[in-house]
Amino acid sequence: MTLQAGVALFDFTHNGSRNFIVWLRGASDDLLVNKIGGYRGTTMSGVLAGEFLLDIKADGAWTLTLREPRDQVPVGVPHTATGTGDAVSSFISLDGLYIVTANYTGSRNFIVWLYDADGQRIDLVFNKIGAYSGVNTIRVNSGSYILVVKSSGDWTILVE
């Protein structure tokens, strides 16, 4: 597949009961998904323009929807994102210091990364195991950003 430079979003489903492993292969390799059993979620990769392959290991039927949100108008703050499992927020217009509040009801990892519109990782916002409720702060230069969530349960994130 040919991808443009920037953020590439991957919406996957998997109906198997064993490993579901997805690598994006190109100029560099990026592990997109590594789960056991059924899966439904969105993940992302920051890519340079070029040719890529997906290396998929699955024991069941799977689907993929690829999105390259280049023209998405960012939302303002305060902004609330909610979901279940792996997901990527809308682009958020940020400039300065912000408080990020999270509530998570899962029993496994809850990881939230902040990326810029070019797909560059900016900050690890949360990295917890088990149910969690708490706050963190982020400081960024003016621009559009997204939150990338890796989780096994329900979550809500408020940026203000």
87: confidence class by pLDDT, cuts 50, 70, 90: very high
In whole angstroms, give the CA distance from residue 148 to residue 82: 12
Please compute the mean of the pLDDT values over residues 33-60 and round it to a whole number: 94
Please compute the mean of the pLDDT values over residues 85-98 and round it to a whole number: 96
H-assigned helices in the chain: none
pTM equals 0.90
- Geometric angle at alpha carbon 151, from 102 and 130, rounded to 5°: 70
- What is the pLDDT at residue 70? 81
Report the 10 Å Cβ neighbour count for 6.
Answer: 18
**DSSP secondary structure letter of residue 71:** T
Closest among 5, 19, 114 to 52, alpha carbons compared: 5
98: confidence class by pLDDT, cuts 50, 70, 90: very high
Please compute the mean of the pLDDT values over residues 123-138 and round it to a whole number: 97
